[in-house]
Structure 1
Amino acid sequence: MKTKGKMNYITTLIIATCLLLLVFAGSILLGEAKVNLTTIFEAIFHYNPHNEQHNIIAEIRIPRDIGAILVGIALATAGAVIQGVTKNGLADPSLIGLNSGAAFMLALTYAVRPSAPFIVLMFAGFVGALLGGFIVLMIGRSRSDGFNPMRIILAGAAVSALLTALSQGIALVFKLNQSITFWSAGGVSGTTWNQILWAAPFVLISLAVILGMSKQLTILNLGESLARGLGQNVAAIRGVTLVMSMILAGIAVAMVGQVAFVGLLVPHIVRYLVGTDYARVIPVSAIAGGLLVLLADTLARMLGEAPMGAIISFIGVPYFLFLVKRGGRFS
């Protein structure tokens, strides 16, 4: 059974990676401006800043697609960790206050400093995610039974509504309606190389830390009592992995705004395919998350720059209701 599980994991990882690379190549090809593979090759290896097609590929499409992949990695990984730490199959960065907290701090940052550099926005997103997540998890935690799934979801809905209302209030007072509309809809159309150069190291380092703690996450997911019995420092595992998840959520919101349900959808499907070992769940979730967001953005572009967040929510809302009916379990 272990050999079969390992083969399923390797097969799934290879298929997901190949699909991601295929969609990435196809996404660069698609768009109003028609380009071919030769032009893409030339734009990458023999870039000519005076060639309009080279500029479209190198300065717009490639950073946009890489940004979509990074956001997908961040949200899916954060969702997998949060679901494991809280033992709540309904948990998602957008549903426990991380996204709305990050958006609130971004609105506040824009109000104080409209021309803030991306590194400041990233830090603001992390602080906001930390604020929103901390409030929700403290409300949702009980001394007797740990994290209560229903309490977390209800607290998340209430805190998210409050932080969203505060964000909109800041937008009205400081006339930030256009910026807030972008963050609410979600999209990677404005992603730049500067944003990627700042975001990528933080996403990859956070992912590496979480991967390094995957064994502890797997044990913790089996129950706090068992984890303590096996000598695990439950508080440290929970604290470090949740902070990494908040960093990932904050970066994602700083890049594309509030995109919901990626962290809910992907981990459930991945656990169904490869099991509950987080050494397998995290890598496949990261790749599958990047694939989902890239597919959604490509579809949004083909539909005339439709809101990417709305496309993912179109799938995510019915799935969430399905999970609620099943008590947070996929199968």
Structure 2
Amino acid sequence: MEWQGTKALPTCRKTQAVREFMRVESEVLFSSRGLGWSGLLMEQHRFRAGEWPASTLSGPILCLWNNLETLRCDHPDANGHFVPKLVHPGTLSFYTAGDLPPAHPRSQIDGLICAFDSDFLLGVPQEIMSESNTRSVADGVISQDKRCFMDAPVQHILERLSEAARIRTLGSCYANHLISLLNARLLHILGMDANRIWLRNKIDVMTLRRLTDRVDATPNLDLDLDTLAVERGCSKRHLLRSFRASTGRSPHQYILDLRIEKARRLMLKPALSLIDIAFECGFASQAHFTYAFRQRQGATPSDYRRRL
């Protein structure tokens, strides 16, 4: 099929949500439209590299990123700076109605997009529905991603539904059975992982933003627990408990991840050496930087930079 924009799509509710999620021109490889499926619209899209503008979703979307290799897609960090993120094959993204952040895929990317009927939302925990879709990344290392995950059963069901949509000879009863299994599995994941993936915000956003700004401006600043607790007006024990509830990490881990996030951003500047980046991000030595980076990224800074 030819590359086409969203104007060619019909205006039903589920198709509207797919159009809002896409935001850019794409090649439609197949679609379940007209197959009589109940409660789900599935379309396989191929996107070119480029800029995806911010958008607003009117309904829930699940996307399986089924590219054949790991790709780079830049997303905004906590300060709105675009940093390199890696989209691994098999990554699943779930988004509720609301604002979508911009994204910059650096190469062609394939996405199996699924839109649900409104009845599906009745089973989604309210805390997930009320969370925003912002700071969505595919690697989940820096921002403890709230929207992306991997699950073999969901991927297997989506692959079987994809086959049904492509060959268009399997009956709707078979597809609807798979859709029921998909809904049940997703609701199980969302309910089971609500406290892990969709973390409750126990520390206000402004506090985290001020901490992020301070680390960004003075990366080697030593912020101990006593200082942070006094600034928050609480005990160290309460600070640790609320920080973990909000971010999934201790203050020390959060600050270290902020430094790694800044390092990933600086790696886009070829004029900066890795030792310069290490000192700029508050690490005492390149060895310390390499150790911390490998612990969180699974690769050394030099190996990671070569993949950008």
TM-score (norm: length of structure 1): 0.23
Higher Rg: 2
TM-score (norm: length of structure 2): 0.25
Which structure shows the higher strand fraction? 2
Greater RCO structure (CA 8 Å; 6+ sep): 1
